[in-house]
Amino acid sequence: MKNILLKLLLLNFLFISPILLYSENKNYSVKKIPLSLTKNANAVLRFKDETFERTGLKNAEKKVRYAITILNKGGEKAGYFIEPYFKYMHVSNISAIIYDKNGKKIRKAKNEDIADIALEYNTALFSDMRAKLYIPEYNNYPYTIEYEFTVKYRSSFIIDDWKIYPHYDLSVEEETFTLITPDYDKELGVYYYVNDSTVLPEIRKKDKKIIYHLHVENLPAVHYEVFNENISERTPVVKFAPVSFSVAGYTGSYSSWTDYGKFIAKLNAGRDNIPQKTKDLLINMTRNIDNKREIVNMLYKYLQDKVRYVSIQKGIGGWQPIDAKSVDELSYGDCKALTNYMKSILKVVNIDSKYTLVHAGKNTPPLIPDFPSNQFNHAILCVPLDNDTVWLECTSQHFPSGYLGSFTDDRNVLIIDKEKGAKIVHTPIYNENYNVKTRFCNAVLASDGTCSMNIDTDFKGFFYDEKYYSIYTKTHDNQKKKLLEQLYFPTTDLKDFSYSETIDSLPVIHENISLNVLTYATKFENRLMFTAYLFSKENSYYLKHCKRKSPINIRRSYRTKDSVSIIIPEGYITGKLPEDIYLSSKFGNYYLKIEKQKNGIILTRIFTLFKGIYPSEDYPDLIDYYDKIKKYDLTKIVLIKSE
């Protein structure tokens, strides 16, 4: 992050931090906060002091103390305390104290106020992943809450990143991070990565220890902007990874992707044991099929019909898949287990495949290729064939073979190879020819301004993904509520809706909607007037006319195509219709055509957005492009009653 006010302080004494001295003599009055730190801020981190010390290959300890001022309701969640832990971690010495706006102590949380919850969500049947949780339940803004806690580790597989900004709209008054490792054993050392050269740790040696120290102060809030990057891409982050580590008796190294890949392969070794009965079934199923792609498709469908996804964190389940035999018998597993199971059943029929690690999510930061470390949260399967590579999302019971979707598309991933260790490759990219929403609307406009419509829409690519989760995870009532939110007509009576699906290499969800729009057209004298296009709102409706600070990050290309046929009331004729519109820019294209038909009008609209990262200086051009689209979308169509 360029031009950020950032200061690295060189300390003479490790444990005598000015931050800790400040916190001992604290004054949490809101008046003490510099005015510059309240701009665009919902919360202010008054101070944070974190120390992480490795004491052995298996053991480490983290001590944290911080205070955060919640300025308004928008910053409320920043005041929540949640510290996850599992079998190889222990969270203790938790303290939480609330102060009012003047810095006066209101109350201290009691032990029974600190909840201990299971992080099970809706799909986790097996989990010892838990968290300590405290919610202040105090809304007399502004207020400050101070936390202190300790975490002891019996594994040093992962070291926390130092993220100065955990989220947007939070400013930082002071923040310190100290990492300590033994000086006597290189295997207990660490690697580090910085995404901003202005943030470099001070490194020194003292008492047979290597000390990495970072400190910042007086950093203004970073405000979210439309088409933003992930905040960890926009702001300074320092990542650490141990040279070597141990977890549950397994040792590994981050010295290279090859070494890390060998560790993952070691975790997975011997877990491909498919029962003989299932082996016989699989061989018989595929006996008469020569095409390997067809076999992959068939066995992927077998997987989807047989098993279901659950989250498994028990023991070292956060990293190691449960064995294929157990999945076969129990018919469930998490992403690692189901990926390993799919790999195992392909092995039965002599098809090689690669267990693959990925950082999944729609807005995740990219993999850092020159920093071997655990940057992953999900597993998928790569099946390299002679003339094709098939990617399988093994947790989905609906995705077709070869389709990944926006959860894991277009990013670098790590393929695990038992012999070679690991290799970074890129998952498929779905461009504007794949990410397509096509809508056909037949409408009948009445003389009183009401309009009955039947709308058929096809969703492909990431549009499919968005609709997929709405269909398969929401109740009928919630689906209806979501539809009404997405329809931009003033008053709508949604009469009926239904869905169907075409399963192909690029799947399609078909949506049919029947509705009445009660105030589609405005009637005055002998005329009816209505807006040309009301089916969606592009981003111009949300873009602010302001000086932009961050690059414009359009993550995916897509296209929307609309064809709207409107039958006008008997006795009315169309007034003058606008000329055809075609806009072309570096960001995309827009086409609008409104023409007469025998008893009404036909509107054709095509909008295309191009993936890309554009400099902030291009923001006025982007606003201008979207403002023009908004102007043409809101073109008024006038119908005149014939005499």
- Estimate the crossing angle of helix 476-486 against helix 462-473, to 10 degrees: 140
Rounded Cα–Cα distance for residues 625 and 628 (Å): 5
Burial of 40 per CB tally in 10 Å (0-12, 13-18, 19+): middle
Assess whether 409 and 487 both reside in one domain: no
Q: Are residues 455 and 363 in the same domain?
A: no
Q: Find the CATH number of the domain harbouring 157.
A: 2.60.40.3140
pLDDT digits (tens, 9 = 90+) for 284-315: 999 999 999 999 999 999 999 998 766 554 44
The answer to whether residue 250 is domain-embedded is no
Same domain, 123 and 150: yes
Instruction: Check: CB of residue 263 under 8 Å from CB of residue 158.
Output: no
The mean of the pLDDT values for the chain is 89
Q: List own/partner pairs for 483-487 with CB under 8 A and 24 or more apart.
A: 483/513, 486/536, 487/515, 487/535
336 and 391 assigned to the same domain = yes
Asked if 273 and 403 sit in the same domain, the reply is yes
Q: Read off the amino acid at residue 422.
A: A
pLDDT given at position 12: 31
For residue 354, what are the domain limits?
Answer: 256-426
Asked if pLDDT for residue 123 goes beyond 50, the answer is no
Give the C-alpha separation, 433 to 436, whole Å.
Answer: 6
| Encoded amino acid at 157, one letter | F
Q: Is 500 helix (H, G, I), strand (E, B) or coil?
A: strand
Contacts of 400 by beta carbon, 8 Å cutoff, 6+ apart: 503, 504, 505, 506, 507
* pLDDT reading at 390 higher than 80: yes
Looking at mean pLDDT, say which of 187-201, 499-513, 557-571 comes out highest.
Answer: 557-571
Band of residue 184 on the pLDDT scale cut at 50, 70, 90: confident
**Could you tell me if residue 135 is inside a domain?**
yes
What's the confidence (pLDDT) of residue 311?
Answer: 56
**Average pLDDT of the residues in 484-491:** 79
Report yes or no on 11 lying in a domain: no
Q: What span, in angstroms and rounded, lies between the C-alpha atoms of 151 and 92?
A: 6
User: In 3D, which of 163, 158, 160 has the Cα closest to residue 254?
Assistant: 158
Select from 39, 77, 50 the least CA-distant residue to 218. Answer: 39
Q: Within its chain, how far is the Cα of 280 from the centroid?
A: 41
**Tokens 């969270």 identify what position?**
91
In angstroms, the CA 531 to CA 489 distance is 10
Which residues contact residue 631 at a Cβ distance below 8 angstroms, ignoring those fewer than 6 apart? none
Cα–Cα separations (whole angstroms), residue 301 to 51, 290, 294 = 49, 17, 11
Helix H or strand E encompassing 169: none
Residue 243 lies in a domain: no
Residue with the larger pLDDT of the pair 192 and 87: 192
Give the pLDDT band (50/70/90) at residue 157: confident
Give the residues across from 423 on adjacent strands.
Answer: 415
CATH number of the structural domain spanning residue 509 = 2.60.120.1130
Beta-bridged to residue 213, according to DSSP, are: 178, 202
Q: Does residue 185 have a pLDDT over 90?
A: no
Contact 235, 223 (CB under 8 A): no
pLDDT of residue 120: 52
The torsion angle over the Cα atoms of residues 517, 521, 524 and 525, rounded to 10 degrees, is -100
Rounded Cα gap, residues 363 and 494, in angstroms:
33
Residue type present at position 604: T
The answer to whether 245 touches 157, Cβ cutoff 8 Å, is: yes
Residues 462, 376 within the same domain: no
- Which amino acid would we find at residue 261? G
pLDDT of res. 124: 33
Return the pLDDT at 8.
33
**pLDDT at residue 14 in the model:** 32
**Nearest C-alpha neighbor of 174 from the set 76, 71, 2, 28:** 28
Domain membership flag for residue 249? no
Residues 78 and 156 in one domain: yes
Is residue 9 in some structural domain?
Answer: no
Longest dimension (CA), the chain: 99
- Domain end marker among 230, 265, 295: 230
Read off the CATH number of the domain in which 379 is found. 3.10.620.30
Output the six-digit token pair for 9: 């302080």
Distances (CA, A) of 166 to 43, 170, 242, 533: 11, 8, 22, 40
Residues 409 and 453 in one domain: no
Domain boundary among the residues 213, 230, 247 is at 230
485 — phi, psi (to 5°)? Answer: -70, -30
pLDDT band at residue 542, thresholds of 50, 70 and 90? low
pLDDT > 50? residue 584: yes
Q: Give the contacts of 433 (CB within 8 A, at least 6 positions apart).
A: 559
What is residue 248's predicted lDDT score, i.e. its pLDDT? 76
d(CA 506, CA 504): 5
What is residue 15's predicted lDDT score, i.e. its pLDDT?
31
Give CA separation, 351 vs 277, 294, 307, 322, 514, in Å. 19, 12, 20, 21, 47
**Residue-level pLDDT at 24:** 55
Asked if 565 and 461 sit in the same domain, the reply is: yes
Q: How many residues does the chain have?
A: 643
Look up the pTM and report it: 0.87
Kindly state the average pLDDT of the residues 56-77: 95
Strand (E) or helix (H) holding 22:
helix 18-24
Q: Same structural domain for residues 422 and 442? A: no
Residue 307, domain member (yes or no): yes
Which residue in 546, 387, 362, 518 sits closest to 448, CA to CA?
Answer: 518
Neighbouring residues of 487: CB distance < 8 A, sequence distance ≥ 6: 494, 515, 535
Same domain, 180 and 131: yes
Q: In 3D, which of 100, 93, 92 has the Cα closest to residue 145?
A: 100
CA distance linking residue 546 with residue 42, whole number of Å: 20
145, 198: one domain: yes
Q: Is the pLDDT reported for residue 455 higher than 60?
A: yes
- Given 383, 404, 426, which residue is the final one in a domain? 426
CB 515 within 8 A of CB 487: yes
Sorting pLDDT into bands at 50, 70 and 90, what band is 128?
low
Q: Which range has highest mean pLDDT (93-97, 227-231, 361-365, 630-634)?
A: 93-97
Cβ–Cβ < 8 Å for 162, 201 = no
Helix (H, G, I), strand (E, B) or coil at 208: coil
* DSSP reduced 3-state for 405: coil
Q: Which of 265, 217, 239 is nearest to 5 (CA)?
A: 217
The string of DSSP codes covering 407-465 is TT-SSEEEEEETTTEEEEEE-----TTTSEEEEEEEEEE-TTS-EEEEEEEEEETHHHH
In a domain, 247, yes or no: no
What is the model's pLDDT at position 367? 95
Facing residues of 153 across strands?
Answer: 60, 89
pLDDT of 57 reads: 87
Q: What percent of the chain has pLDDT over 90?
A: 69
Identity (one letter) of the amino acid at 223? H
Among 448, 408, 453, CA closest to 426: 408
Which range has the worst mean pLDDT, 115-124, 142-151, 276-285, 466-475? 115-124
Count of structural domains, the chain? 3
In the predicted model, is pLDDT for residue 537 greater than 80? no
Residue 166 near residue 219 (C-beta atoms within 8 A)? no
* Residue 630: both structure tokens together: 């908004």
